[in-house]
Amino acid sequence: MESLTSASSTSTLLSLQSKFSKPRKPLVGLTHWVKPKLEVRCVLEAMNNASAAAENDKEVKLWGGRFEESVTDAVERFTESISFDKELYKQDIMGSRAHASMLAKQGLMSMSDRDSILQGLDEIERSIENGEFVWRTDREDVHMNIEAALTDKIGEPAKKLHTARSRNDQVLTDFRLWCRDAIDKIVARIRHLQVSMVILALKNEGLIVPGYTHLQRAQPVLLQHLLLAYVEQLERDAGRLLDCRARQNFSPLGACALAGTGLPIDRFMTSDALGFTAPLRNSIDAVSDRDFVLEFLSANSITAVHLSRLGEEWVLWASEEFGFITPSDSVSTGSSIMPQKKNPDPMELVRGKSARVIGDLVTLLTLCKGLPLAYNRDLQEDKEPAFDSVKTILGMLEVSAEFAQNITFNQERIRKALPAGHLDATTLADYLVKKGVPFRTSHDIVGRSVALCVSKGCQLQELHLKELRTISPFFDEDVYEFLGVENAVKKFSSYGSTGSECVASQLDYWVTKLEIK
């Protein structure tokens, strides 16, 4: 057809050319213009025919009774969520089991239909776990894929499963169950990192390191005290997650689209069966709320920031300038061009990946900020940030524990570095306070003592008593019991301080709490 049309057009143009001697070139050009135009029309017709044929082949949607046309391929591709929400398959099947059992108990389906549904769901779950299940984009999401597969498998009884249930409450049930499981995994990883840090502390008993404020040397601290500071932060991280878990552990199932149902369902039965505390009280809130995942991603973000700070500290300490730690080869990488390099890349990536976790939270906050009640399709976009946040934080925790188990503190290098910075200055001020000198006065006296050291190029403990007494008559022979980093650390005695006895007590607490043997 195309060739005939093109030949006819060319013949007409040639006859026109024979009547006019000028201009010939534009008319020749016209033949080149007409042919593509006709080809485009033919291509469009072919595309329309193919599209019509594809529509005839499409499976009728489970919600398609009111519709006369199928959605276009572009809309189907844009709106599908099966590419990521199939992650919820296990929770979806759990929810369906509980729902089917409740419907049977309430007389909304027969016991034999329930048994067929439960058996079919078991077979589908095995198929998914064996990698045999075919996820279909035209079935949109995890819920429709499983329900349609169940219908293919057992027939009419499967059509009763969606009684008194909407995808709105179904997806929230799945998602809350998934987040609950994810929290349990993250808390377990936090515990593992805490154990790794406590064991690292136990291996380095008595090692004093410089403590920093403003990244400037401040006071001497026991390394164990510093490591336990991160253990304390991680404990709060676990606590936030467990608090979040308690608040999210309420069931939306049976809230339906937004208004509940007039059918005699038992929401308390399904709530108990799924391990929830209770059903959510308000059906509109049940299907529109995303507080539980916002709180979850917020807790993850705080954990990520703590891990990033740990990563930053260890990256600095592994540098040649500090030289305080040496990571083993098993947790280091090299350079493609500089053969001498040994980089603490895992902790650099921990520091870097914190940005992803924070970004996931910001994505979800932005997603929710302008939504009216109740459910809106925008909320389909809540899954991927949550999945990414959990995957990333689990990886960060795992590699941080791995790094902690494979580093060595360079004790000799640290000892040689300790004298710089007059780390015992604050302890010297405390000495004067014990002599009855007001703190502001003692602060000034010690400041002038440090200035003398700077001019002489020496440490406070190297000053002679005569030199100290030129600054203040309150200095006496016993002052040297307060000078030097070892003496300074011994003088710390307040609860929670870096004093040896206090740190030993902290260690005992964590060894017991974390059941370290």
Among 127, 104, 128, which residue's Cα sits nearest to residue 114? 104
Classify domain 82-163 at the CATH superfamily level. Fumarase/aspartase (N-terminal domain) (1.10.275.10)
Measured CA to CA, the distance from residue 239 to residue 434 in angstroms comes to 40
Pair of tokens at residue 412: 């000799």
CATH topology of domain 417-514: Ribonucleotide Reductase Protein R1; domain 1 (1.10.40)
Q: Which residues are marked as active site?
A: 214, 335
475 phi, psi to nearest 5 deg: -75, 140
What is the per-residue pLDDT for 203?
Answer: 96
Write b or e for each residue in 222-248: b if 16 or more Cβ atoms lie within 10 A of its Cβ, otherwise e.
bbbbbbbebbebbbebbebbeebbeeb
Give the span between the Cα atoms of 136 and 152, in whole angstroms. Answer: 13
Average pLDDT for consecutive 10-residue bins of the chain (517 residues)? 43 47 46 52 60 57 62 82 93 98 98 98 98 94 96 97 96 98 98 98 96 94 98 98 98 97 98 98 96 98 98 96 93 86 92 98 96 91 96 98 96 92 95 96 96 96 96 96 95 95 96 95
Please say whether the beta carbons of 164 and 371 come within 8 A: no
Query: Two tokens at 362?
Result: 């910001």
* pLDDT at residue 23 in the model: 47
Cα atoms in the 13 Å half-sphere on the side-chain side of 507: 25
H helix or E strand, kind and range, residue 219: strand 216-222
Nearest in space to 308 (alpha carbons), one of 255, 363, 357: 357
User: Before 417, cis peptide (omega within 30)?
Assistant: no
| pLDDT attached to residue 74 | 87
Residue identified by tokens 């009111």 is 66
3-state helix, strand, coil split of the chain in percent (to 5) is: 70, 5, 25
Secondary structure of 437-476 in HEC code, one letter for each residue = CCHHHHHHHHHHHHHHHHHHCCCHHHCCHHHHHHHCCCCC
Q: Which of 156, 84, 172, 165 is nearest to 120 (CA)?
A: 156
How is domain 168-265+275-410 classified at the architecture level of CATH?
A: Up-down Bundle (1.20)
CA dist 181 and 201 (Å) reads 31
Question: Do 417-514 and 168-265+275-410 have the same topology in CATH?
Answer: no
Looking at residue 449, its pLDDT comes to 96
Q: Where are the domains of the chain?
A: 82-163, 168-265+275-410, 417-514
Residue corresponding to tokens 């997806």: 171
- Could you tell me the two tokens for 366? 């932005």
Residue 387 CA neighbour count, 13 Å, CB half: 12
Q: Specify the pLDDT at position 40.
A: 57
Tokens read off for 502: 């206090």
Token readout for 437 is 């000198």
